[in-house]
């Protein structure tokens, strides 16, 4: 039996019970892909110099909406042999007894690790990146890697990229009185301190055909939340598709967690709808 080839990939191998595909990406392939990515970035920016790693944001900074995780999926338009795909990719794990997908961990330019799951029906799920463009770039990198290996008789192409969830956080500069917030008549708040210490608010995002209200009308739009009948009154009749709802979890310390948005604009819009109510319920010098 031939001795296994040493792992020459840049990233460490993720251990799993009896995985296949123990070989990392070669240095030659990594350098080639890095040059191609830098060349495409230079063409997009119209500059001759290559772009370096992106600056790291200050997590937890007061008054800044910080994105922690982006989840998206796409189609490869062909069936994938998962065992062959695991051998073609480096830093990958495939254990069909636990989960029927190949998981690949890729380090992004924004100092985060994106986890890509490839399924046999051609679907690819990505999570772990903190920007939409970085996750799209990482999934394209995996698709290009699969194109170089004859996994199927059909051409592998990445299409139908869609963001399904964005996880963000916001640090309000003052503590919040959740009891005062729950007593607001113009905002539907789900607050049960016996079950969960935070308050929950759901904001319905207008459809793409509707104009997103400006800052003056944001408070009015927040009154028709996802739990009220007013939340769908501004939508056109016959609008198809699943409604986009952003859920905000607010804590007395001023920390806000946002989930459910499909774009950064939708997440920022939901936060903009709730900020006027937080200003009315903030605690300054022990008084609200």
Among residues 113, 143, 164, the one where a domain terminates is: 164
Q: 200 falls in which pLDDT band (50, 70, 90)? A: very high
Q: What is the mean pLDDT of residues 76-85?
A: 86
Per the domain annotation, does 27 fall within a domain?
no
97 and 114 in a common domain: yes
Domain that holds residue 189: 172-207+243-287
Q: Specify which of 78-82, 110-114, 178-182, 230-234 reaches the highest per-range mean pLDDT.
A: 178-182
Give this prediction's pTM.
Answer: 0.68
Number of domains in the chain: 2
Give 70's contacts (C-beta < 8 A, 6+ positions apart).
Answer: 126, 127, 129, 130, 131, 132, 134, 135, 163, 165, 166, 167
Asked if the structure places residue 198 within a domain, the reply is: yes
Per the CB < 8 A criterion, the answer to whether 38 and 51 are in contact is: yes
Average pLDDT, the chain: 75
Does some domain include residue 191? yes
121 and 190 part of one domain: no
Asked whether 280 and 211 are in contact (CB, 8 A), the reply is no
Both 156 and 178 in one domain: the answer is no
For residue 148, is it within any domain? yes
**Could you tell me if 179 and 273 lie in one domain?**
yes
Residue 126 domain flag: yes
Q: What is the pLDDT averaged over residues 130-137? A: 92
pLDDT of 5 higher than 60: no
Considering the domain architecture, whether residues 132 and 180 belong to the same structural domain is answered as no
**Banded pLDDT at 215 (limits 50, 70, 90):** low
CATH of the domain at 82: 3.30.310.10
Q: What is the mean pLDDT of residues 27-45?
A: 47
**Residue 227 counted as domain residue:** no
Q: Is residue 19 part of a domain?
A: no
Long-range contacts of 125-129 (CB under 8 A, 24+ apart): 125/71, 125/72, 125/73, 125/101, 126/70, 126/71, 126/72, 126/73, 126/74, 127/69, 127/70, 127/71, 127/72, 128/69, 129/69, 129/70
pLDDT digits (tens, 9 = 90+) for 239-271: 345 788 999 999 999 999 999 999 999 999 999
Domain-located, residue 144 = yes
What is the mean pLDDT of the segment spanning 188-207? 92
164, 186, 220 - which closes a domain? 164
Residue 147's pLDDT is: 81
Q: Please indicate, yes or no, whether residues 201 and 114 belong to a single structural domain of this protein.
A: no
Same domain, 273 and 186: yes
Q: 130 and 178 share a domain?
A: no
Q: Are residues 102 and 145 in the same domain?
A: yes
Q: Higher-confidence residue: 91 or 72?
A: 72
Between 285 and 278, the more confident residue is: 278
Mean pLDDT calculated for residue range 41-51? 44
146 and 184 inside one domain: no
Pick the last residue of a domain from 136, 164, 192: 164
Let me know whether 98 and 200 are in one domain.
no
Mark whether 107 and 150 lie in a shared domain.
yes
What pLDDT does residue 1 have? 45
């Amino acid at each position: 039996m031939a001795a296994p080839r040493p792992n020459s990939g840049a990233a460490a191998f993720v251990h799993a019970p009896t995985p296949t595909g123990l070989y990392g990406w070669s240095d030659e392939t990594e350098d080639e892909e890095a040059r191609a990515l830098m060349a495409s970035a230079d063409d997009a920016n119209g500059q001759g110099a290559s772009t370096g790693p992106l600056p790291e944001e200050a997590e937890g900074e007061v008054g800044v909406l910080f994105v922690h995780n982006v989840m998206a999926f796409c189609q490869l338009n062909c069936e994938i042999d998962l065992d062959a795909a695991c051998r073609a990719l480096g830093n990958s794990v495939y254990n069909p007894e636990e989960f029927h997908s190949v998981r690949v961990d890729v380090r992004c330019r924004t100092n985060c690790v994106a986890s890509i799951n490839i399924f046999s029906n051609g679907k690819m799920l990505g999570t772990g990146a903190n920007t939409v463009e970085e996750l799209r770039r990482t999934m394209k990198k995996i698709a290009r890697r699969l194109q170089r290996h004859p996994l199927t008789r059909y051409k592998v192409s990445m299409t139908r990229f869609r963001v399904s969830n964005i996880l963000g956080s916001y640090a309000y500069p003052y503590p919040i009185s959740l009891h005062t917030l729950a007593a607001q008549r113009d905002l539907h708040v789900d607050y049960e301190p016996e079950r969960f210490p935070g308050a929950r608010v759901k904001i319905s995002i207008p459809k793409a055909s509707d104009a997103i209200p400006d800052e003056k009308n944001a408070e009015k739009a927040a009154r028709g939340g996802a739990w009220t009948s007013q939340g769908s009154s501004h939508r056109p009749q016959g609008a198809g598709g699943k409604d986009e709802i952003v859920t905000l979890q607010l804590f007395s310390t001023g920390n806000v967690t946002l989930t459910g948005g499909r774009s950064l604009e939708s997440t920022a819009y939901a936060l903009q709808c709730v900020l006027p109510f937080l200003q009315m319920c903030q605690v300054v010098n022990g008084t609200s």
